[in-house]
Amino acid sequence: MIIVAGTFRIDEAKIDDLLPLARATLAATRKEEGCITYSYAFDIEDRGLIRVYEAWESLSCLEAHFKQPHMQPWRAKLGELGASERKIVRYETGEGAPV
């Protein structure tokens, strides 16, 4: 399993401009082969900080995700809105266990 986790930052005043495409990107990605979980969340104490969490069945599924047509508009919009401080990391994991 591949876990992708991290953060990026966007000006709080631009969040409403991002949301429609964020919702479309989430919906399209969640239909992709091998996508277990795909989500964005606003930090409770810092709304301009967006947390990213993804789980994929395999590295090949994640790599295919990057090539999907819905990813180009998403990347372009993030650039247009000045997203910054992107810190997103990929982890290879086992099955995991409840905590």
The first and second tokens of residue 34, run together, are 């091998």
Cα separation, 24 vs 17, in Å, equals 13
What's 47's DSSP letter? T
Q: Pick from 46, 45, 64: which is nearest to 56 by CA?
A: 64
Is the pTM value of this prediction over 0.75?
A: yes
Class of domain 2-92: alpha beta
pLDDT digits (tens, 9 = 90+) for 37-92: 999 999 999 999 999 999 999 999 999 999 999 999 999 999 999 999 999 999 99
Distance linking the first and last C-alpha atoms of the chain? 18
